[in-house]
Amino acid sequence: MKTSRTILSAALAMSVISGCNTDLTPSAIENPNNSAATSLNADSKSLTPSVQANQLFDKLYMEQVMMKPQLQTFLGIKTSQDRWDDLSDEGQKKQFQLAQQQLALVEASIDFQQLDDNARLSYTLFTRKLREDIEDFKWRHHNYPVHQMFGVHSRAPELLINQHKVTSVKDAEDYIARLNALPVLFEQLIEGLNRRAELGVIAPGFVFPHTIRDSQNVISGAPFDNGEDSTLFADIKSKIGKLGIDGQEQQRLLSAAKEALTSQVGPAYKNLITTLESLKQRSDDRDGVWKLPDGAAYYEHMLARMTTTDFSASDIHAIGLQEVDRIHDEIRVIMSKVSFKGRLQEFFEHVRTDPKFYKEESEQGKQEFLDQTQAYIDEINARLDEMFLTRPQAKLVVKRVEEFREKSAGRAFYKRPGPNGSRPGIYYVNLHRMSNQPSYQAEALAFHEALPGHHMQLAIAQERKDLPKFRRYASYSAYNEGWGLYAEYAPKEMGFYRDPYSDFGRLSMELWRACRLVVDTGLHHKRWSRQQAIDYLAENTPNPKGDITKAVERYIVMPAQATTYKIGMLKILQLRSKARGILGDKFDIRQFHDVVLKNGSVPLDVLEEQVNSWILDSQV
């Protein structure tokens, strides 16, 4: 059996190889500036193989984190908060090499047979992720790093505004340093965009007006022009103003920020806009990734990576059609309850156009939607103990999407909390157009994004101090979004959705995810056009036309991601049905939810193994 000294010595050696010098302790994220020397247990020989393995996983995860300044900021680490990630091809190669080195180290250093069950799971997940990172390297130029949903052009200001905390002069100086460093980040981005173009990887033409507009929005207003303060200038002004420092020091920081914005940020965005305008001229209206080099293989790869299953595109398309038919039938039951006379599509048109289902396009209407959302969250929060054994400790806030990105951002999304309560979980609601936010969907949307959905799932995993860090912050879309969609359904069993139209809202959102299986595979496998996809959703869902167009454009630039919701939900429901059938009276829904949530985000096949193990243990 390998000893602690062997494992930890190898880990230190690898740290030298990879050029990283990071804290090895489990508290690294909370206190990353600890001396590495203090993290080695003086009596390491007495540690069990599982403890040794978890220490190594933490250490290697921190090596990965320390190569990514933006991830550090997200995790509350300030070590490199004056820098951006390295987007260059050389930077990506370094991460690829690190993954190879870490995989070799783990396989050589850890005796899998000596580990306990939890450490074995950590080993399986850690090595699997490294292998996936290594496999993904060949496809690194197949994505679109700038598109209407997100990208460097919007994530950079979003990180500064929402995640770069300023509680000291040094924090403010680091913020300004990031402003000054933006040209290098964008030069790397432009180089990557041009490299992709050489390979035939250019986003469809509809993407560019969105990204050009969003980029122009960032540099609109003072100090770029004579308008009101730009989003970034208003943000840094506000943060500096809350420091409580003397006027002279405050003015120094504000002057430095203004100079950085005008001399660095403005020109960087203008260069990016010029590049995007040039690429727009070279783009076309072919929407699916089938058009890319080895596009069919790339899409199958993305389906496997996103769903964590071996379903083919044809399999997923068929599942989608089947689910659409089933949900349509359930909606017809709702139509009967509300005494609607007419066909399904006529009912869809009714809920799509009747003003009573939409708040006013005013500040008052937007606030009413937020208040209604908060009320749903408060009510379910008061009753969580009926279905769950574990609650998240992190706070949750509901927030509007910022104006600079609301035109292109999704309808709603969630941002996980910072470690140790440094930042609450945030449920973002896009209120740009109230005609895209039907009130009958507000309840299900809140359950999905907030409670018992993403906030519960992600915060609980993050707060599990007995798990290695990489598992606390892991993200498998099929698990995450499958849980989110399941979280829309579970409150139905608790008596929520008392209004039939609200229950229809739940079904309409499940229908939306079922249609995604059809549309995503239609676009990327069956070579549907953007208009074909829009027409399918308009015929089969009640969603507003603007919502439909924006959604289809999302599926185009994020291949396979949209399939994860329904595939994940179906797996959770299948496992729950299996457990209930086998355990009978011994089945406890709270325990089942604990099994699903306690290990953090995992691939669906791993989740199935965990549930099967729980079923066996529960039979004893």
CB 157 within 8 A of CB 236: no
Structure-block tokens of residue 145: 């790093």
**Which residues make Cβ contacts (< 8 Å) with residue 608, sequence separation at least 6?**
571, 575
Cα–Cα dist 596/453, whole Å = 12
Give per-residue pLDDT as tens, 155-190: 999 999 989 999 999 999 999 999 999 999 999 999
Residue 415's DSSP bridge partners are 426
pLDDT, one tens digit per residue, over 334-348 is 999 999 999 999 999
pTM beyond cutoff 0.85? yes
Measured between alpha carbons, how far is 461 from 601 in angstroms, rounded to an integer? 8
Closest to 128 in 3D by CA, of 260, 297, 308, 267: 308
What angle separates helix 89-109 from helix 117-136, to the nearest 10 degrees?
A: 150
- Per-residue pLDDT, 43: 52
- Position 25 scores a pLDDT of 31
pLDDT of residue 75: 87
Looking at the predicted structure, is the pLDDT value of residue 16 above 70?
no
Contacts for 235 with CB less than 8 Å, ≥ 6 apart: 160, 161
Rounded CA-CA distance 28/34 in Å is: 7
Closest CA to 232 of 266, 277, 209: 266
Q: Give the model's confidence band at 386: pLDDT under 50 very low, under 70 low, under 90 confident, else very high.
A: very high
pLDDT at 36: 33
103-125: pLDDT as tens digits = 999 999 999 999 999 999 999 99
Task: Specify the higher pLDDT residue, 45 or 130.
Answer: 130
CA 260 to chain CA centroid, nearest Å: 30
Helices 500-524 and 313-337: angle between axes, nearest 10 degrees: 160
Give me the chain's average pLDDT, please.
92
Are 396 and 466 contacting, i.e. CB atoms less than 8 angstroms apart?
no
Question: What's the token pair of residue 232?
Answer: 């970034």
pLDDT at 534 over 80: yes
- What are the pLDDT digits (tens) for 537-575? 999 999 888 889 989 999 999 999 999 999 999 999 999
Is the N-terminal amide bond of 468 cis, ω within 30° of 0? no
Dihedral of CA atoms 327, 330, 335, 341 in degrees, nearest 10, equals 80
pLDDT in tens, 356-385: 999 999 999 999 999 999 999 999 999 999
Per residue in 20-71, pLDDT tens? 332 323 334 544 433 333 333 445 567 999 999 999 999 999 999 999 999 9
* Kind of pairing between the strands at 425-429 and 412-415: antiparallel
Task: Supply 5's token pair.
Answer: 């000294």
Confidence of residue 404 (pLDDT cuts 50, 70, 90): confident
Report which residue type is found at 163: Q
Number of Cβ atoms within 10 Å of the Cβ of 399 = 13
Determine what percent of the chain is predicted with pLDDT higher than 90.
87
Task: Using only the alpha carbons of the chain, give its radius of gyration.
Answer: 25
Q: Are 69 and 81 in contact (CB under 8 A)?
A: yes
Any idea where the domains of the chain sit in the sequence? 4-139, 152-177+208-285, 298-569
The per-residue pLDDT for 35 is: 31
The 3-state DSSP class for residue 428 equals strand
Type and span of the H or E element at 397: strand 396-400
Distance CA(608)–CA(324), nearest Å, equals: 25
- For residue 8, give the H/E element and its range: helix 4-18
